[in-house]
């Protein structure tokens, strides 16, 4: 049985492309077209599985054919669906590389050892990744740049990361 932690989100369907059942696909892999290497892809609950054939690069994504999707209406109905691959199909990560899903929930401490909160989500603004931090002492979530200078230590085994946030951020 595959558990949610065994699945990594590798893409999302952005809607139909054309009228013959192709979908507009956003790839979250380092090389966009590598998403096809991890097929078949599933929905988050594992209830639906899709074989995937990339047909072309398009503005802001890829056009693809998914097994079982033959009409524009079927493709449109899948808009917003996230696509997952089993972790064991993905490449081994280099040191200091992380899957976003593994960062969510980690405790965030400052360099003095005080708890700042927990990672709620990871955002990508195009330049750097941002960790969305929430916690009982925070009035609102805080976006912490996920750079080596600001987050010098990620200790997956201990379930925490050490941050040296810019003055005034917390």
pLDDT by position in tens, the chain (length 170): 444 568 889 999 999 999 999 999 999 888 899 999 999 999 988 899 999 999 999 998 999 999 999 999 999 999 999 999 998 888 888 887 888 888 999 999 999 999 999 999 998 776 788 999 998 888 889 999 999 999 999 998 899 999 999 888 88
Bridge partners of residue 83, in order along the sequence: 11
Write phi, then psi, for 145 (nearest 5 degrees): -60, 130
pLDDT of residue 1: 42
pLDDT of residue 5: 64
Domains and CATH numbers, the chain: 4-89 (2.40.30.60), 100-163 (2.30.30.240)
Token duo for residue 99: 């899957």
pTM here?
0.73
């Amino acid at each position: 049985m595959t558990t949610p932690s065994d699945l990594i989100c590798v893409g999302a369907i952005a809607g139909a492309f054309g009228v013959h059942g192709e979908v507009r696909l956003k790839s979250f892999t380092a090389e966009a077209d590598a998403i096809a290497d991890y097929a078949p892809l599933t929905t988050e609950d594992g209830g639906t599985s899709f074989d995937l054939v990339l047909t072309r690069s398009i503005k802001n994504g890829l056009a693809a054919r998914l097994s079982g999707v033959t009409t524009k209406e079927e493709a449109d109905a899948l808009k917003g669906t996230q696509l997952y691959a089993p972790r064991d199909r993905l490449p081994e990560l280099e040191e200091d590389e992380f899957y976003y899903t593994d960062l969510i929930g980690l405790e965030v401490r400052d360099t003095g050892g005080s708890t700042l909160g927990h990672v709620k989500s990871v955002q990508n603004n195009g330049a750097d990744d941002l960790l969305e931090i929430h916690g009982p002492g925070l009035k609102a979530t805080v976006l912490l740049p996920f750079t080596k200078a600001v987050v010098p230590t990620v200790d997956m085994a201990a379930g925490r990361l050490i941050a040296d946030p810019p003055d005034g951020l917390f």
